[in-house]
Amino acid sequence: MTIIEFLKSQVSFDTPLGDLAKDVMSDKDFPYEKSESGIISYIEFQLRRHGNGSVFEEMVSAFHEQKDNTVDPLNLDVHFTPLRAESWPFLKLHFPSDRAIIVGKLEDIYRVYAVDSASQRALKFDIYTMRQLNDLSIINLNKIHMGVLTSEVSVQDALDSLAKNKYNDLRKPTEPNYSEMLDYLKNQVK
C-alpha cells in the first residue's frame, strides 16, 4: 500500500486521520508525484506548521502498520477518487469528449467546452485563465449559455477554430493549460 492509497483509505472516517485525508484530497498543491519520503515530508511540514504534530505521528504509525497490506479491491475511495492535485490527469484519461462548444469571435475563441454527450456534461476550458488545470469545472450542458458567440461544433472543428486564433504580446493563452487542452482535444478526435 502506498502512502496515497493509505490516505485515500482514511477519507470516510470521522477521525483526525480522516480529516487529514480530506485535507490531502482537496490540496491543489499536494505533491502526489513525489516519492513516498517526499510526500511524508510535505505532510509533516504542513501539519507541524499548524501545530498538528500528533496527527503526523499517528499517520506515520498507522501507515507503517498497514504499509505491507494489500489494498482492498472493493475500496472505491482508494481506486476511484482522485486527489485534487491529480484531477486533471484523471480527467484527461477518463472524461470522453465527442463534441465541443466554442465561445468567442472568429480568431478570438476564449472558452472551449469539451462535451460528453452521453453524460450531458462538459469540461470548461478558459483560454486566458490563471486557474490551474486541476481546478477545471465540469458543467451540466443545460447550464451553458448558448449566445451569439457560442457554437456547437465537432472536436476537430474546435481544434481548427483554435488554430485560427490570433494572439499578441498582451494577450496570450495561459500555458501549460492551453497546450494541455489542445493535446486533450486531439486525443478525442475519432
- Residue 63 domain-assigned (yes or no): yes
Domain end point (choices 31, 59, 81): 81
End-to-end Cα separation, the chain, in angstroms? 37
Same-domain check for residues 37 and 111: no
Q: Per-residue pLDDT tens for 28-82?
A: 788 888 899 999 999 999 999 999 999 999 999 999 998 888 877 766 666 556 6
- Phi/psi for 55 (5° steps) reads -65, -40
Same-domain check for residues 176 and 107: yes
CA distance 145 to 182: 23
Same-domain check for residues 96 and 175: yes
Same-domain check for residues 99 and 180: yes
Q: Which grid cell sits at 178?
A: 492551453
Q: Per-residue pLDDT tens for 119-144?
A: 999 999 999 988 888 778 888 999 99
- SS3 call for 174: coil
The more confident residue out of 184 and 85 is 184
- Residue 132 domain-assigned (yes or no): yes
Sheet of 150-153, strand order = 137-140, 121-126, 108-116, 99-105, 150-153
Q: Which grid cell sits at 138?
A: 465540469
Same-domain check for residues 22 and 66: yes
**Predicted confidence (pLDDT) at residue 110 exceeds the cutoff of 60:** yes
The domain tally of the chain equals 2
Question: pTM of the entire structure?
Answer: 0.65
Same-domain check for residues 120 and 164: yes
Same-domain check for residues 73 and 145: no
| Nearest alpha-carbon partner for 179 in 123, 125, 105, 119 | 125
Same-domain check for residues 100 and 165: yes
Same-domain check for residues 8 and 50: yes
Question: Which domain covers residue 154, as residue numbers?
Answer: 91-188
- Residue 175 domain-assigned (yes or no): yes
